[in-house]
Structure 1
Amino acid sequence: QEDPQVKAGGDPMYGASFRIWGYETSWGSFAQFTKVQDHQCLPKPKHLSYEAAAAYMLVGATAYRMLTRWQEHEVRKDDVVLIWGGAGGLGSMAIQICKAFGAKPIAVVAGEDKVEYCKKLGAVGVIDRRKFNHWGMLPHWEDNEKYNAWLQGARAFGKAIWDVLGEKKSPRIVFEHPGESTVPTSAFVCDTGGMVVICAGTTGYNATLDLRYHWMRQKRFQGSHFANDKEAKGFNDLVLEGKADPCLSRTWKFSETGAAHQLMRENKHPHGNMAILVNAKKEGLKNLEEAKKA
């Protein structure tokens, strides 16, 4: 409350004192008891179990800010939105947000088993990135052979987007988080005047892009980090209204916390989100009365 950014009425996310609970604070989140500020608490959807209610806010609010915060690039009806990792935690939330706003989300995945999953969430189409091999950092523009090979791959990927839509329409928003391996392609296929918005770098942090396409087509490259209170409430409201599902795929015991993280480290986790039971005695409990009986 004493942060100058907050006192001035600005976005708290830009304040020097801002910290994401459990990520940038020392309290963590995998504990029987943890310290939070009152404004960080939101109504639990009554129709969800405790574990389902615990699974969505981090990725959901992050995706909500990415898609609604940036002036002139808020997701809107009929927008084409390219979503990397459509079957993951972030991607599964982003698809549903786009659907709720009437946009046209296209998911990028690695595996046929993820195609139907994304379509059921609302994706108008799905692209399997394994069908392309131009991923990685952008070759130097003076290396004609390697650059042309990359360009051929990027154009083929762009055509795959058009094929999904049935028209030559490029993404107004590219929802990024892999980073190093995909940013060159994201920047290339993004529509003129569009935005690449990124919240992570899961494949690496050294991103490269061809600035000629960036400045001449007046694209935007926007960083985004979690969400403020308004955005967290905005996504929670979608869940309360039944417009977004937590996509809970697996629940672990508190003693299995390490195993859950190891599965993620090996990229073997199931689609959507996972949760860990902390004080709940069993899965499926929805309120305090049920918890007391358990």
Structure 2
Amino acid sequence: MQAILEAIQAGASGDDLANLPIPESYRAAFVKRDEQNMWEGVASEDKDPRKSLHVGEVATPELAPDEVYVAVMASAINFNTVWTSIFEPVSTFGFLDRLGKESVWGARHALPYHVVGSDAAGVVVRTGSAVRNWKAGDKVTIHCNHVDDQDPSAHDDSMLASNQRIWGFETNFGSLADLTVVKANQLMPKPKHLTWEEAASNALCNSTSYRMIVSPHAGDLKQGQAVLVWGATGGIGGYAVQYVLNGGGTPVGVVSSDKRRRLLNEMGVEHVIDRREAGYQFWKDEHTQDEKEWRRLGKDIRSLIGRDVDTVFEHPGRQTFGASVFAAARGGKIVTCAATSGYMIEYDNRHLWMKLKSIVSSHFANYKEAWAANQLIAEGKIQPLLSRTYALEETGAAALAVHKNEIEGKAGVLCLAPEKGLGIDDPEFREKVGEDKITLFQRFDQSEI
């Protein structure tokens, strides 16, 4: 991998890169199959990814005809890496075993270890025999929708495919490594004005938010609509408020500190609710919600924008879902993509059916949506949310920081890239977009806001 890195840094041609040997092994972050029961009896909040995420050499898999090898310059941490590391809600080795039964190529994934990670920016170094649109030397970002186009269910909206998976979570050979193997239809052009780590931090969360807010498959935002965004400075919330603003809508961001309120104001979000200051208690106890608190939230929203929100961008799950259903306007939507506070959801169905509201599920994005979201990054219309960057050896510490909600936006991880700040190919456009806009979350993390 060192020879590949040196060639990339020297600006080697695609042909030169394609002629370099692919190593028999590479450095990667992974969990072990024989440790998947290590957390039995330990509470979720006490599970430490530093103990389960290992960094070491793994064998390089054979390349399928529709795949490419990518030298990973940088990656990022998502909650799915945290889930894999703490083996919740299930061990991901079950995903790998099911994939292993599908085909000869699928069998490569069912291994004693799972290389994790679902975001990357890097350089194509080899292509399979069936790859048409990409070549060695191409600088790329990678989206995580792993889908088999031989299944008819994949050909309207590939997120509905019966065998749709998330690369690096439900497949092996993920991005937190010096090398990765992905299908060619996961590749997108790297935004030329961003560093490797900035470019690597976007695809999963940015694409997820694009589908939830913009795509007709989910949010289908119209100009003038108002959107309540929970966790509005988080990994998906920070993209969501940008899409609402770009689409002519009005975001109402929910955060948990005055500092986060200031960060949203810097992003152009005028209407912000500090839930910690408001002291909402949506649950009286483990089994009973408090409708008076829902009504207080609705009143607070109306005091800011003069009306109810058309859409709720919902991902906390159990803790907030009842309030989200109540807060949406008559005929409004609750668009949900996760349940970080619990999967068993409760809400008062009268507020849904009597006011003709709808709950819309959303999960990542199809290739067209991911490509459109990446293009908006490349055009400088959506900014990265990278706040902090770790070395690959620190993957466990990075995952722990995300697990403990200690990071706003995204945590980046340097893989082959030897230091931060590399990979900018269009400094003039970067200056046009604005360094302060691009690095807003990094400056926030360094307490400059």
- Structures share fold, TM-score greater than 0.5: yes
Partners of 2:174 and 2:218 lie apart in 1 by: 35
1:277 aligns with 2:414: yes
Partners of 1:175 and 1:212 lie apart in 2 by: 20
More RCO (CA 8 Å, sep 6+): 1
- Structure 1: 5+ residue runs without aligned partners? 141-145, 289-294
Aligned partner of 1:3 in structure 2 is 151
Q: What CA deviation, in whole Å up to 9, does each residue of 1:53-106 have, x standing for no partner?
A: 000111000011111234584111111000000011111010111111111011
Aligned partner of 2:47 in structure 1 is none
Paired residue type of 2:298? G
Equivalent residue in structure 2 for 1:102, among 228, 248, 255: 248
CA contact (8 A) 1:134 1:153 kept: yes
Equivalent residue in structure 2 for 1:188, among 323, 326, 333: 326
Partners of 2:283 and 2:215 lie apart in 1 by: 29
Equivalent residue in structure 2 for 1:155, among 292, 295, 300: 295
Aligned partner of 1:111 in structure 2 is 257
Aligned length: 278
Q: Deviation of residue 135 (structure 1)?
A: 2.5
1:179 aligns with 2:179: no
After superposition, the Cα gap between the structure-2 partners of 1:99 and 1:254, relative to the gap in structure 1 and judged at 3 Å, is: same
Q: What CA deviation, in whole Å up to 9, does each residue of 1:170-208 have, x standing for no partner?
A: 111100110000000000010111110111111111111
Higher gyration radius (CA): 2
Aligned partner of 1:13 in structure 2 is 159
Aligned partner of 2:92 in structure 1 is none
1:64 aligns with 2:210: yes
Superposition pairs of residues 92-241 of structure 1, within 5 angstroms: 92-130=238-276, 131-136=278-283, 150-165=290-305, 167=306, 169-241=307-379
Greater mean deviation of Cα atoms: 101-110 or 66-75: 66-75
Let me know the Cα RMSD of the aligned residues.
2.0
- Structure 2: 5+ residue runs without aligned partners? 1-148, 426-449
CA contact (8 A) 1:138 1:184 kept: no
1:36 aligns with 2:182: yes
After superposition, the Cα gap between the structure-2 partners of 1:236 and 1:103, relative to the gap in structure 1 and judged at 3 Å, is: same
Q: Deviation of residue 134 (structure 1)?
A: 2.2
Q: What CA deviation, in whole Å up to 9, does each residue of 1:128-171 have, x standing for no partner?
A: 1121332248987xxxxx66xx1221111111111111x1x111
Paired residue type of 2:170? E
After superposition, the Cα gap between the structure-2 partners of 1:179 and 1:47, relative to the gap in structure 1 and judged at 3 Å, is: same
After superposition, the Cα gap between the structure-2 partners of 1:216 and 1:67, relative to the gap in structure 1 and judged at 3 Å, is: same
CA contact (8 A) 1:46 1:287 kept: yes
Paired residue type of 1:159? K
CA contact (8 A) 1:137 1:208 kept: no
Q: Deviation of residue 124 (structure 1)?
A: 2.6
Greater mean deviation of Cα atoms: 200-209 or 127-136: 127-136
CA contact (8 A) 1:136 1:180 kept: no
Paired residue type of 2:167? W
Paired residue type of 1:281? P
The percentage of counterpart residues that share the same residue type is 38
CA contact (8 A) 1:53 1:246 kept: yes
Paired residue type of 2:311? I
Report which of the two has the higher share of strand.
Answer: 2
Moved over 4 A (4+): 137-140
SS in 1 for 2:415: coil
Partners of 2:181 and 2:424 lie apart in 1 by: 21
CA contact (8 A) 1:73 1:194 kept: no
